[in-house]
Amino acid sequence: MDVYDMKIILRNGITISIILLLLNTCIITISGDFSHIQEENISQDSMKPGDYVNYIYVDGRIRSYRLHIPPSYENDESMPLVLVLHGIGVGSNAKNLQSYCDMDKKADEEGFITVYPNGEMLRLSAHYNRPIALLRDLFYMLTSSREWNRWDDNSIDDVGFINDLLDDLETIVNVNSSRIYITGISGGGMMAYRLGSELSHRIAAIAPIAGSISGIGYVPEKNESIIPYIIPPPSNPIPVIIFHGMKDEHVPFDGTWKKVFEWRSDELWVYIGSVNESISFWVEHNKCNPEPNIWTSEDEKISIKTYTNESDNTEVVLVTYMEGGHEWFKSPTYQIDANDLIWDFFNKHPLS
Domains (range + CATH), the chain? 40-347 (3.40.50.1820)
Least confident of 20-34, 55-69, 182-196, 277-291: 20-34
Task: Tell me the per-residue pLDDT of 203-229, one tens digit each, with 9 for 90 and over.
Answer: 999 999 999 998 776 666 667 667 777
CA distance 342 to 352: 18
Q: What is the pLDDT of residue 29?
A: 34
With beta carbons less than 8 A apart as the criterion, state whether 251 and 210 touch.
yes
CA distance 112 to 129: 44
pLDDT classification of 258: cutoffs 50, 70, 90: confident
With beta carbons less than 8 A apart as the criterion, state whether 316 and 288 touch.
yes
Total residues belonging to the chain: 352
pLDDT classification of 90: cutoffs 50, 70, 90: low
Residues with Cβ < 8 Å from 53, sequence gap 6 or more? 32, 33, 34, 36, 37, 64, 65, 66, 67
Which one-letter DSSP state was computed for residue 286?
Answer: T
Helix (H, G, I), strand (E, B) or coil at 5: strand
pTM of the model: 0.84
Q: 10 Å Cβ neighbour count for 254?
A: 12
Higher pLDDT, 165 or 40: 165
The 10 Å CB-count burial string (b at 16+, else e) for 157-175 is ebbebbbbbbebbbebbbb
